[in-house]
Amino acid sequence: MENALEIKNLCKKYDDFELKNVSFHLPKGMIMGLIGENGAGKTTTIKAILDIIKSYKGEIKVFGLDNRKNDNKIKEDIGVVLDDMFFPEILTPNDINDSMKGIYKNWDTKMFYDYLKEFSLLPNKQIKTFSKGMRKKLEIATALSHHPKLLILDEPTSGLDPVARSEVIQIFQSILEKEECSILLSSHITTDLEHIADYITFINHGEIVLSKTTNELLDEYGIVKCTEKEFKSIDSKDYIKYRKEKYEYEVLVSNKKDFKAKYQIEVIDKITLDDLMVLMIKGEE
């Protein structure tokens, strides 16, 4: 399968943080959820993809093109919403439309105004009058309105109420259905990702912990809850992480079927992405 995005051994060092050999790939036409706690490296990785961060080591390819050698061509095909992105507050959506027509060859004015209408954003109102949620919707409308082949979204539903979040998620899904597009979506709201992401990539302390299909994670991974005596009977090779609670142990396993067969355990709880993050970050090996 052709990849929309491919990252190999991405390294970037700061005084207090380091990306260490980050590698993953996003197949064309798929949605990947990028998860991890604050400071884990999600935004740094995204800014490297966009060539905002310079002087990193490793290789980043977008549709097979080196992002450092084909900057202008790649930017034409990428729609971006960053968590710290902003438009000057004195501008109006009308001003945004006029500006973007000069930047993107494929800018679609009709699509932009259709999104404004769908999001209930008045085109002649200054951005300074918009709420945080309205500003986020404007960013999303702008990112989508030049028919990008790859959407890179850093916390795109941040600040939106549940109804607006649902609307935005549906738009992302419809984009995939209507157009040839791939999406890398970083979000703290993991319940959104469980419903729409084809792949999940988990980054922690600047390193990729895992990158798998969502179905594999939610169907095959599980949590075993057991007593201390039962836990001590489990081979350390058969679990990923564990956490000792007040009255029981929580044990993260990667293959529920095999674990059940080996240890004759009937009940293994289904896992959520929140569960996975907590156990991978807070659990012991």
Residue with the larger pLDDT of the pair 117 and 246:
117
Whether 175 has a pLDDT exceeding 80, the answer reads: no
Q: What is the DSSP string of 17-38?
A: -EEEEEEEEEETT-EEEEE--T
Distances (CA, A) of 264 to 184, 219, 221, 239: 39, 19, 17, 15
135 Cβ contact partners less than 8 Å away, ≥ 6 residues apart: 86, 87, 127, 159
- Mean pLDDT value across residues 62-71: 84
Q: Is the pLDDT of residue 71 over 80?
A: no
**Which residue do the tokens 């491919």 mark?**
6
Q: Given this model, what pLDDT does residue 266 score?
A: 79
- How far apart are alpha carbons 115 and 272 in whole angstroms? 32
What pLDDT sits at residue 104? 92
DSSP H or E segment with residue 123: none
CA 145/CA 108 separation, integer angstroms: 5
- What does the pLDDT average to over 226-236? 91
Inform me whether the pLDDT recorded for 176 exceeds 80: no
Task: Give phi and psi for 74, each to the nearest 5.
Answer: -65, -45
Rounded to an integer, what is the distance from CA 10 to the centroid of its chain?
Answer: 17
Find, among 132, 122, 126, the residue nearest to 156 by Cα.
Answer: 132
Q: Which of the four pLDDT bands, split at 50, 70 and 90, describes residue 191? A: confident
**Domains parsed from the chain with CATH numbers:** 3-213 (3.40.50.300), 221-282 (no CATH)
> What ranges in the chain are assigned the alpha helix state H?
42-49, 71-76, 93-101, 109-118, 132-144, 162-178, 190-196, 214-220, 228-232, 256-263, 273-282
Contact 185, 172 (CB under 8 A): yes
Q: How many CB atoms lie within 10 A of CB 32?
A: 25
SS3 call for 46 = helix
Give the predicted TM-score (pTM) of the model. Answer: 0.90
Assigned token pair, 99: 């500006």
Give me the pLDDT at residue 30, please: 92
The whole-angstrom separation of Cα 30 and Cα 168 is 17
- pLDDT at residue 188 in the model: 82
